[in-house]
Chain A
Amino acid sequence: MDMPAPNPAIMGLKDRLVARLLAVLPTDAVIHDEAETRAYECDALTAYKCPPLAAVLPATTEDVSEVLRICHEMGVPVVPRGSGTSLAGGALPTADSVILGVARMTDVLETDYVNRVIRVQTGRTNLSVTGAVEEDGFFYAPDPSSQLACAIAGNIAMNSGGAHCLKYGVTTNNLLGVTMVTMDGTVVEIGGAHMDAGGLDLLGLVCGSEGQLGVVTEATLRILPKPEGARPVLMGYDSNEVAGQVVSDIIKAGVLPVAIEFMDRPCIRATEAFAKAGYPDCEALLIVEVEGSDAEIDEQLGLITQIARKHNPVELRESTSAEESARIWLGRKSAFGAMGQINDYMCLDGTIPVSQLPYVLRRIGEMSKDYGLDVGNVFHAGDGNMHPLILFDANKPGDLERCEAFGADILRLCVEVGGCLTGEHGVGIEKRDLMVDQFAPHDLDIQMAVKDVFDPKWLLNPAKVFPLAASAARRAA
């Protein structure tokens, strides 16, 4: 994947830029030493690295506004950054850009249980939002697996999801308002603590815009009362087709589980070797979790296991205690880690219509043979959001390229069957050049026209989301 060549004229502005930034921020909030800027050279897509010109760590919305005003005036590109856990290269800098990190902006500004909202600075991590309200019986629903590390800033920019979004939705469904600073330094309040937009739904537009429309500094989030309890059931099947049918039957029966997770054989094996969760050695494994009081859980699990039995499971294990629940989730939660033990991996996240699951898994298996690279599948089956993990060896010349080509083929397949390139990780640089497979030129043009409105000079995270060729004229202007 290419990045635009850095602009030498901008690189030449470094000293003046740093001086101006130091005039508005404390010394320790402006990082310009070459050894130190390395800390910001990549996100979790570690195959791509490039230290920025400088990095700044503002503490307030006003600081952010000052920084953006300066960069805007000097024509310096800015790449917003939360915790740097993006798997799509969304926070990857270029050598002529400033990283604007919100990691020091972690305050809880207000908690309001009557109105069920919390207002935070966006550098706060996802898990610590729940941490701020859980003693009072509340939680923040979107729960990406990276929730210990990732920030609300990145969650909003990527519209992140999690295991429980089948019931609770993703970030955009739990976001009520933001304070955002546009590239020219203007502070914009969008939404609030109330429901729905009074005019155009700019909040919906900003969420998922990958740091290209503005820097989000504060957010008002919906918090929900914790359910009384939750328990999963684990089921194993001989074929992906059957497991896919079970998912569809459960949904059709009118049960709405909070999560339906799916693992295929390569993933089950890797996980077993690593975490020893006691999973059956079978083709497809499902974990279905429901919530409520004990009796309510029993009622729902009763229905679910009844459906599961009709399809002859090789294993059916209903949790009856917190300990058993933890064991059932253990393997799923360590799946990424387990795959990482075997090799380097690339994690994709295309979404497909649930009905296409068996076909897509079969095709991925065939492609895996063609490319000579192993792949494991673990994903959110209730909503069709796949996570194929392709294993490769970063030290072997040509392996990364082969892996990327394989990944691109899988994502094209997702689009072909009526799905999309990314369900929750975002486009970033990773899927940028595949956008033409999902969108016609007009469809991309209207999106870029939106960026023209918020950031006419295309200085904010400019080399992401859109194919470089498609955005070239705008970036050059």
Chain B
Amino acid sequence: MKMMTPNTEADLAQIIASAQGPLHLFGGGTRPIGAPAAGEALSLSALSGIVAYEPGALTMVARAGTPVAEIEAALAAEGQRLAFEPMDHRGLLGTAGTPTIGGVVAANVSGPRRVAVGACRDFLLGVRFVDGTGRVLKNGGRVMKNVTGYDLVKLLAGSYGTLGVLSELSLKVLPAPETVTTLTLHGVDASGALEAMTRAITSPFEVSGAAYLPGDAPRALLRIEGFAGSVGYRVERLKTLLADLGEITQTDTPEQSAAIWQAVRDVDTLADCPTVWRVSMTPGAMVKGLLPALGDDPGPYQLDWAGGLCWLGGDAGAADMHARLQALVADRAVNGGGGGHATLVKGDAALRAAVPVFQPEPAPVAALTRGLREKFDPKGILNPGLMG
């Protein structure tokens, strides 16, 4: 298939301005999330390269097609990192290709550390993008604090290319910690895990990851990062805090810890499931509302974000389950009034075409969303239909 691959922002703008029909955007081709979108393929991979990096100011500017790996390597060389810990979707979705920073931002991809430091959108300082009419626009900037005008930066994050094609991004970065360790609490069920994760995350001992893996060897995982002395201290305090909940072990090396959290981040446990949902609700509602509502055997799942994020695996073509899940999440009796959403992240094209992939929105919100799309993409050519 022919693919357009502009080398400059100006070329990108030109392509969009003269487009006669839908365009299907991709960065690296690794995150085919959303309803299958039709259209001419437009790759952002040639808009690549780090434009500016100031370690002393904790800021980096990069073109949207820059590989995530290139960014992570540049940061690592200065002892810094993307604190929101974007997941790599390739294992879960069975895709190949090179994940780009534009794809990360367009899908607002965040990993386990999101619960402690914030999401991708919280680290996005500025964007340059091309709207659906071919105008090159900018919003935000390169500085950490900026309230000048409306915050379109957050709006563009997680818009899956449906409001504009990102050409350049500026990001806040953070120092990487001196060391990291993981505490594992063994043999707990979901309620026990919720108790442990809640105690930990509401303690002053700053855990930077809190996950639960059910199954044959069910366990809750807590990550502690920082300076060595501080990590040692917090580990001891957390062990005491959780002592009554079960047997606790600790990883021996930072590498072991890294491997554990990479697996959590990339949802390795569900890689073999043909269908995968991602559910965000409050931790309490997730464990006390949703999981029980799914019955004795909710199927394969894992919890992250101290219980606030659930990855759930299902059978091929599980349209009924999809409808049920989105209905449960929207039900106040289940979500406890805290709201939430369930997104079909992985599924065959037929399923993704047949169901609302993203959680249907209440009418007033849907109306605003529709209105915004009409302003940003009046011709309806940017990944049309992808978000419903």
* Chain A residues in the interface with B (C-beta under 8 A): 110, 112-117, 137-138, 158-159, 161, 165, 169-170, 172-173, 177, 182, 186-205, 207-209, 220, 225-228, 247-249, 251-256, 292-293, 295-296, 299-300, 303, 351-355, 380, 382-385, 418-427, 431, 435, 438-440, 442-444, 446-447, 449-454, 465
Contacts and interface: CB of A to CB of B under 8 A. Distances in A.
B150 A450 contact: yes
A449 B201 CA distance: 41
A414 to B, nearest CB: 9
B346 interface: no
Contact of B152 (A191, A205, A225, A422): A205
Contacts of B339: 177, 189, 191-194
Contacts of B309: 195
Contacts of B227: 296, 299-300, 303
Contacts of A465: 149-150
Given A116-B201, A254-B177, A453-B368, A192 B340 contact: yes
Contact of A201 (B118, B150, B154): B154
Given A195-B280, A442-B136, 7 more contacts: A114-B194, A115-B338, A193-B337, A196-B114, A198-B342, A199-B361, A447-B149
B164 to A, nearest CB: 9
A26 B50 CA distance: 59
A141 to B, nearest CB: 11
A117 B202 CA distance: 11
Contact of A420 (B56, B136, B146, B152): B146
20 contacts: A110-B337, A116-B201, A170-B145, A172-B122, A198-B361, A199-B365, A202-B368, A204-B151, A207-B154, A254-B178, A299-B229, A353-B57, A354-B56, A355-B56, A421-B148, A422-B148, A438-B149, A446-B135, A446-B152, A450-B150
Nearest to B158: A201
B365 A190 contact: yes
Contacts of A418: 141-143
Contacts of A194: 280-282, 285, 308, 335, 338-341
B121 to A, nearest CB: 6
Interface string B128-145: 000100011111011111
B255 interface: no
Contacts of B135: 442, 446
A380 B365 contact: no
Nearest to B372: A453
B174 A351 contact: no
A307 to B, nearest CB: 12
B56 A251 contact: yes
A190 B305 CA distance: 21
A446 B375 contact: yes
A201 B44 CA distance: 23
A442 B308 contact: no
B148 A202 contact: no
Contact of B139 (A203, A300, A427, A443): A443
B159 interface: yes
Contact of A384 (B145, B342, B358): B145
8 closest cross-chain pairs (CB), A and B:
A204-B154, A192-B339, A198-B341, A248-B56, A193-B338, A423-B145, A453-B371, A254-B175
Interface in B148-170: 148-155, 157-159, 163
B241 to A, nearest CB: 12
Contacts of A201: 108, 121, 154-155, 157-159
Nearest to A303: B227
A209 B175 CA distance: 31
Nearest to A447: B150
Interface in B329-388: 335-343, 358-359, 361-362, 364-365, 368-369, 371-372, 374-376, 387-388
Given A193-B337, A252-B55, A292-B230, A199 B149 contact: no
B121 A204 contact: yes
Contacts of A169: 118, 122
A446 B137 contact: yes
A296 B230 contact: yes
A115 B56 contact: no
A189 B341 CA distance: 14
Contacts of A424: 145, 147
B257 interface: no
A159 B141 contact: no
B281 A384 contact: no
A119 to B, nearest CB: 9
Given A173-B122, A256-B175, A420-B143, A447 B152 contact: yes
Given A354-B57, A383-B143, A431 B375 contact: no
B57 A438 contact: no
A260 B163 CA distance: 37
A444 B149 contact: yes
